Structure 1
Amino acid sequence: MDLLVVVDSDDDKMVSHELEQMRSKLEEAILKTRSMPFENRPRLLRIPISGQNRSVVRSLNPMLVTYLEASQDLCETDLILFGAAVAVCRIKCAKLPMAGCATKQSRAIPA
């Protein structure tokens, strides 16, 4: 699948090799998300707003067009966008906690 990549002038430091790696991570994340039950999706982390993070998102946006145009319903669109969010986390090397994994529980008494 050939995708057209449009790079903003702010992103001119990214070379095509980096964009291909990003595309690969995006495709992998979307494929994994499609085959994964909703309950098993990883929890997404909040990534801070920065110029570098925005650059990653701006670079992935044109890559999503092909997937979104082929989307047939809202559920599929949700899977694509969730896969894109997972890809951004992976590109930024954020470790995603898997759903259903034991998490550290607070011993504080709820208000």
Structure 2
Amino acid sequence: MTPLVEVVLKRINLRMSTSVMIGHPADESFIKYLLKWLHQHNEVLNVEEIAQWAIKNHWSEREIKNIAYWIKLIVEGKQARIKYIPLFAENYFSDLLVEARNSQL
């Protein structure tokens, strides 16, 4: 797993652990948006590696199945529908890149 994929998974994990509405479509949209962003940046989305990471971080079986399904859709070029376009701070994505780069040092 690349450092950038891991950084994004940590952000997803943080969102899931602090969300007051677990399973809300906005949370789902947030995850799908980030997965699509990773794919557009040529990051390898290995379902098995991500599932193992998710298990270690105590994600539920349902959450793991959902993310695996969304990854499959994205990688196959199919539509993973985003119901709510997430709002990100202006520097959100550049911060992800910097954090991933710094994690390699």
TM-score (norm 1): 0.32
TM-score (norm 2): 0.33
Q: Which has the larger radius of gyration?
A: 1
Question: Between Structure 1 and Structure 2, which shows a larger proportion of helix residues?
Answer: 2
